């Protein structure tokens, strides 16, 4: 029998291989949206393993999600993202989310790489937000609000700034004010041209913002549609943070993957669909349709646009594949004998 090897890439190796190169990750994510639109992917639904019986239980006891997939095109790689969420980890000084990615050769189906995917996950979620901002936010957007100053917040901002360098004011809202303050401090150090303001007045922040980006763990909405100004772009990147009026008031509803959003059934637009308040035909586009030129992006400065992203393991597989291919060129990583 032949031998087989697995390449092990820890967080440090992934960093050296370009996982934190935001522009490269944006390119990966855009390609994934287009390949999905062209049907050159396989993406069975996300499998959610929850602890407890209710969303409230899950928010304390946690979950582990499995997201398998195959991505074609220049990537031509299969794999799975295995993501643990331990909401109480902070008590042990550990991050809430941990991500492991396994890549499998699409020909032999053998595993070829095990990688730490923690940065992959935050980078690709930031990049998804950045792609949406490029296509859907006002061209001169200058005021942004980020709700939820956790792990996702820095990459949401980084990618939004690539898409809209005109952003000069950032409101940060978090139920833990100290998280908002810490994020504002690090933002102003990293981007001295940005005025970052931690706030508990989410109404004022929303009323002033061109972009409202939600990455919290909230299961009760705290952003009201009546606060949205003309031209606002609302990013529902997590669960149930914006009320039904935000969706009703929007001129366009755009999503990353509509079937997955309905399957996950936790975001505002999904809950409205379940209640019959939103129909399939009310969804203006998935991002892949806009990137392929089949549907228009933002068409004027007055439109209010709502965007919901559930994310997909295929994006993580694409980013990890790029790093894996870089590792093969540079010899980085640790080779593990799988079958000897
Ligand atoms: N769409 C995607 O592709 C995608 C990908 C990854 C994560 N997410 C989602 O993004 C969210 C944030 O993830 P994270 O890794 O940054 O989590 P995190 O735990 O690191 O940070 C969450 C932050 O939100 C704050 N928060 C919690 N409840 C709040 C509320 N009701 N109001 C205001 N702030 C509140 C917390 O204090 C914390 O600072 C999660 O819901 C996660 O599932 C989405």
pLDDT in tens, 39-69: 999 998 788 899 999 878 888 999 999 999 9
Tell me, yes or no, whether 11 lies in a domain. Answer: yes
Domain identity same for 268 and 297: yes
CATH code of the domain in which 302 resides: 3.40.50.720
Catalytic option among 46, 81, 138, 252: 81
CA 176-84-128 angle, to 5 degrees, is 75
pLDDT above 80 (res 94): yes
Domain identity same for 272 and 197: yes
Domain identity same for 159 and 271: yes
Tell me, yes or no, whether 98 lies in a domain. Answer: yes
pLDDT at 198: 98
Tell the residue nearest (CA) to atom 36 of ligand 1. 148
pLDDT at 55: 79
Domain identity same for 61 and 180: no
CATH code of the domain in which 76 resides: 3.30.1780.10
pLDDT at 76: 98
Tell me, yes or no, whether 46 lies in a domain. Answer: yes
With the most atoms of ligand 1 within 8 angstroms of its CB, the residue from 25, 33, 150 to mutate is 150
Residue 174 Cβ inside 6 Å of ligand 1? The answer reads yes
Band (pLDDT 50/70/90 cuts) for residue 1 is: low
Q: Which helix (H) or strand (E) holds 310?
A: none
Tell me, yes or no, whether 70 lies in a domain. Answer: yes
Cβ neighbors of 184 (< 8 A, separation 6 or more) are 170, 172, 196, 197, 198
Dihedrals phi, psi of 335, to nearest 5 degrees: -85, 125
Expressed in angstroms and rounded, the spacing between residue 339 Cα and the centre of ligand 1 is 40
Residue 55 Cβ inside 6 Å of ligand 1? The answer reads no
Asked whether the beta carbons of 80 and 64 are under 8 A apart, the reply is: no
Domain identity same for 146 and 209: yes
- State mean pLDDT over 144-164: 98
Residue 176 Cβ inside 6 Å of ligand 1? The answer reads yes
Tell the residue nearest (CA) to atom 32 of ligand 1. 175
Structure-block tokens of residue 138: 């006002």
Structural domain harbouring 90:
4-121+314-339
Expressed in angstroms and rounded, the spacing between residue 328 Cα and the centre of ligand 1 is 34
Domain identity same for 167 and 269: yes
Expressed in angstroms and rounded, the spacing between residue 242 Cα and the centre of ligand 1 is 14
C-alpha pair distances (Å), 260 with each of 47, 286, 311: 11, 11, 8
Helices (runs of H) and strands (runs of E) counted in the chain: 12, 16
Tell the residue nearest (CA) to atom 26 of ligand 1. 216
CA distance 9 to 17: 9
Dihedrals phi, psi of 183, to nearest 5 degrees: -65, -40
Tell me, yes or no, whether 128 lies in a domain. Answer: no
What's CA 89's distance to the chain center, in Å? 21
Do you know the residue count of the chain? Answer: 340
Expressed in angstroms and rounded, the spacing between residue 141 Cα and the centre of ligand 1 is 23
C-alpha pair distances (Å), 163 with each of 126, 261, 305, 334: 11, 24, 16, 36
pLDDT in tens, 289-319: 999 999 999 999 999 999 999 999 999 999 9
Residue 237 Cβ inside 6 Å of ligand 1? The answer reads yes
pLDDT in tens, 269-285: 999 999 999 999 999 99
Domain tally, the chain: 2
Q: Which helix (H) or strand (E) holds 119?
A: helix 118-136
Query: Which atom of ligand 1 is closest in space to residue 219's alpha carbon?
Result: 31
Residue 157 Cβ inside 6 Å of ligand 1? The answer reads no
Domain identity same for 284 and 326: no
Tell me, yes or no, whether 221 lies in a domain. Answer: yes
Tell me, yes or no, whether 198 lies in a domain. Answer: yes
Tell the residue nearest (CA) to atom 17 of ligand 1. 150
Domain identity same for 238 and 302: yes
Domain identity same for 69 and 112: yes
CA distance 239 to 292: 27
Expressed in angstroms and rounded, the spacing between residue 216 Cα and the centre of ligand 1 is 3
Cβ neighbors of 264 (< 8 A, separation 6 or more) are 46, 48, 270, 310
pLDDT at 42: 96
Residue 81 annotated to the active site: yes
Domain identity same for 161 and 263: yes
Tell me, yes or no, whether 132 lies in a domain. Answer: no
Domain identity same for 151 and 289: yes
- State mean pLDDT over 95-111: 95
Tell the residue nearest (CA) to atom 21 of ligand 1. 150
Domain identity same for 284 and 162: yes
pLDDT at 46: 82
Residue 223 Cβ inside 6 Å of ligand 1? The answer reads no
Q: State the virtual CA torsion across 323, 326, 331, 335 in degrees, nearest 10.
A: 40
Average pLDDT, whole number, for the chain?
96
């Amino acid at each position: 029998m032949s031998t087989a090897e697995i390449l092990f890439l820890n967080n440090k190796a992934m960093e050296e291989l370009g996982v934190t190169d935001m522009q490269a990750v944006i390119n990966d994510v855009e390609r994934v949206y287009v390949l999905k639109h062209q049907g050159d992917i396989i993406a069975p639904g996300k499998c959610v393993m929850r602890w407890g019986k209710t969303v409230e239980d899950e928010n304390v006891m946690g979950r582990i999600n499995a997201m398998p997939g195959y991505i074609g095109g220049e990537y031509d790689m299969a794999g799975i993202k295995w993501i643990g969420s331990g909401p109480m980890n902070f008590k042990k000084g550990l991050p809430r989310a941990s991500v492991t990615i396994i890549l499998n050769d699409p020909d032999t189906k053998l595993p070829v790489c095990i990688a730490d995917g923690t940065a992959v996950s935050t980078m690709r979620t930031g990049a998804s937000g950045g792609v949406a901002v490029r296509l859907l936010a006002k061209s001169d957007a200058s005021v942004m609000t980020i709700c939820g100053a956790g792990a996702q917040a820095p990459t949401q901002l980084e990618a939004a700034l690539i898409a809209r360098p005109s952003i000069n004011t950032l409101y940060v809202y978090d139920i833990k004010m100290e998280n908002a303050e810490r994020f504002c401090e690090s933002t102003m150090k990293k981007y001295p041209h940005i005025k970052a303001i931690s706030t508990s007045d989410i109404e004022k922040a929303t009323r002033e913002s061109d972009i409202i980006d939600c990455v919290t763990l909230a299961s009760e909405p705290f952003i009201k549609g009546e606060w949205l100004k003309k031209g606002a772009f609302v990013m529902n990147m997590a669960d149930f943070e914006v009320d039904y009026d935000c969706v009703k008031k929007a001129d366009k509803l755009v999503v990353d993957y509509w079937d997955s959003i309905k399957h996950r059934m936790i975001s505002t637009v999904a809950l409205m669909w379940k209640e019959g308040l939103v129909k399939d035909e009310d969804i203006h586009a998935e991002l892949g349709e806009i990137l392929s030129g089949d549907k228009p992006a933002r068409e004027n400065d007055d439109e209010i646009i709502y965007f919901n992203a559930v994310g997909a393991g295929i994006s993580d597989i694409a980013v990890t594949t790029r790093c894996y291919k870089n590792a093969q060129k540079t010899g980085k990583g640790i080779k593990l004998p799988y079958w000897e």
